[in-house]
Amino acid sequence: MHDTSLSLPDINNTVSIPKKKSSFLANFMAFSGPGTLVAVGYMDPGNWITSIQGGALYGYLLLSVILISSLIAMLLQAMCVKLGIVTGMDLAQATKSRVSKPVARVLWFTTELAIMATEIAEIIGSAVALNLLFDIPLLLGVLITIADVFLLLLLTKFGFRKIESFVFVLIMTIFAIFAYEVALAQPDLAQAMSGFIPQKSIFTANVTGYDSALLIALGIVGATVMPHNLYLHSSIVQTRKYNRNSNKDLQRAVKYATIDSNLQLGFSFIINCLLLLLGASLFFGKDPDQFGRFVQLYDALQQPDIVGPIASGTLATLFAVALLASGQNATITGTLSGQIVMEGFLNIKLPMWLRRLITRSIAVLPVVASIIIWGDRGDVVESLLIYSQVFLSLALPISMIPLIAITSKKEIMGEFVNAKSTTALGWLLVSILTLLNLQLIYETLSGVL
């Protein structure tokens, strides 16, 4: 029987690791995997739109924003690694142990809404991809996404390693497609490298009638660190069979799990850069109406005057395949995150299939409603994606605050406590991100988006 006090008890402490004196490569391979599932949240359909639009409207200017956002993500996910391995609790469990029941319920409800907001983006991405690839009506495509619960259930039968491997294959598919498309697009590499240096024009550049550079930058920052990823990572790092009572084993687990996290987030950083490079190479300086939505991007990739006569059909199809892979990836991590926050905050345990079915069914409702009201129009449905990202930006600091507070307490973390400089940087980031997210929300409510 599993210890039900554990985070994700069915998979906790199930993946074997090599002996202490094994090689760096053997240890690295054994601890690699959780970072892959976390990296999925950094390349979902919401990131696609902001990165490609940023490149299309402002060239290589916002590459620096992607870089800074990725560094912030690495810092926060490293804290999640330490929290999970050292305390044996995920972020939901650790937060609940230090707040009252009413506060725990509020935090759970907010996090559940954030997970559902993430689900909306994945539903839209998958449904649009099915429409582009197979001409399946959006409403039917949305309903089909409910059935993907069986995908995760099938994978869990073969062990957690199989889930990690499946997600890795999908990520590599996305990477290969966009690397190929960017290579064909032939970006200006010299200008691209200069884009990694922050410029003042980020705060002033504005294409009349479209989102300002600052607004898109806020969208990139606000959607980069997904709230559910903090709960997910603090749990799945505990799947490895390290000695929970040995400081040396904890040190080894933290070391290699952090390396895994940073490498995978570095990989997602590359993919997001590729998205922006694609937008800049193909669309910068052209009619902005061609790239506002997924469908428009797909249509633009079929136009010979934009991508050339040979690559046009291939690029469009590969784009849709990558979009479908992105939606399926996030489906898996969203299910696990939902289970973690429900069990951690409320100690309510549901079968995974039921948990998955409830979350996805609720998330489907606003998408189905928009299709019924406005018809089978991709532009209306995809507008929901923008609003889902706005809500995620609001929910993010609510998850960051307990993470930084708990990992900064020596009585909890012992020798693994955050350095004072790390804690100070963490609180500074919370303040900045909160202000930026509030600005994004204000601009959205003011009708700028």
pLDDT in tens, 426-449: 999 889 878 876 776 676 666 544
**Are residues 89 and 7 in contact, defined by beta-carbon separation less than 8 angstroms?**
yes
pLDDT-above-90 percentage for the chain: 28
Flag the least confident range among 189-198, 259-268, 382-391: 382-391
240 φ, ψ (degrees, to nearest 5): -80, 150
User: In terms of pLDDT, which residue wins out, 51 or 148?
Assistant: 51
> Distance (Å, rounded) from C-alpha 309 to C-alpha 325?
26
pLDDT digits (tens, 9 = 90+) for 290-299: 665 677 778 7
Tokens at 336, concatenated: 């696990």
The hierarchical CATH code for the domain 24-445 is 1.20.1740.10
pLDDT digits (tens, 9 = 90+) for 310-341: 555 677 888 888 888 777 766 677 778 888 89
Place of tokens 């504005």: 206
Residue 386's pLDDT is what? 65
Tokens at 148, concatenated: 């993907």
Residue 1's pLDDT is what? 40
Indicate whether 308 pLDDT > 80.
Answer: no
Q: Predicted confidence band at 81 (pLDDT cuts at 50, 70, 90)? A: very high
Indicate whether 126 pLDDT > 50.
Answer: yes
Residue 441's pLDDT is what? 67
Flag the least confident range among 147-151, 210-214, 288-292, 359-363: 288-292
Tokens at 260, concatenated: 């895994």
Contacts of 342 (CB under 8 A, 6+ apart): 108, 112, 348, 349, 350, 355
3-state secondary structure of 15: strand
Contacts of 113 (CB under 8 A, 6+ apart): 391, 395
Indicate whether 140 pLDDT > 90.
Answer: no
